[in-house]
Homo-oligomer: A and B are copies of this chain.
Amino acid sequence: MKQNQKYQYEYERPALVTDCVIFGFDEGELKLLLIEREKEPFKNKWALPGGFVFMNETTEECAKRILMEKAGVKNVFIEQLFTFSDLDRDPRERIISVAYFALVDKKQYEVIAGRDTLNAEWFEISKLPKLAFDHNKIVKAAFQRLKGKVSYQPIGFELLDEKFTLTQLQALYEAILEEPIDKRNFRKKILGMGFLKALEEKEKNVAHKAARFYSFDKKAYKELTQKGIHFEL
């Protein structure tokens, strides 16, 4: 705190952490990766992975570090959500949390995740337990943000495998928007956008007509946005 004196402020400083809401998608369900707390307060309760912001990192770098250290997740989409600063959000002392949310391809994550020492588990978003701190509130805000954003930014793809079928994509949108979508209209619209690349490959070993795989064509999307064309589902 010494430096403070330089400009005459001598305030006590709140502690600063980041907490991460990690979304995954699996079996038609939107899921959340939670960590079991090992210490008080809220020992053995489920919580968002989080940790203190160091002096030599931005909050976003901190969130990425936490994601890796506590959840074994790396190289994923993350976005700042909101800063939560209620006075009593932590029973120990004043702690302000800059919350982030991450979208991960759950399948890929499971490969990496073995290394984990912490107890981490996926929960269906609709069946969350009561979480530590104000984390239920943070999750709610994150879900709302995801819901609001998915229709005009191509962030849904971050939750799917690189190759996906249109049925999977539709199921994802239905899970996030919490409402059914007409199959034909959905396909017409999303293919009409022009940023889905149809692959040759099809599903294998399915007990019905095999669906074609598609991938998200980042280059095509970028070109569209540069032309001022924005997608809207």
Binding site for B on A (CB under 8 A): 1, 3-4, 6-7, 9, 11-16, 39, 52-60, 80, 82-83, 85-87, 92-94, 96, 98
Contact = CB atoms under 8 A, between A and B. Distances in A.
A92 B5 CA distance: 11
A216 to B, nearest CB: 23
Contact of A14 (B7, B55, B94): B55
A53 B83 CA distance: 13
Nearest to A98: B83
B85 A60 contact: yes
A83 B85 contact: no
A18 B82 CA distance: 14
A11 B60 contact: no
Contact of A53 (B4, B14, B39, B93): B14
A93 to B, nearest CB: 5
Contacts of A59: 83, 85, 96
A58 B98 CA distance: 13
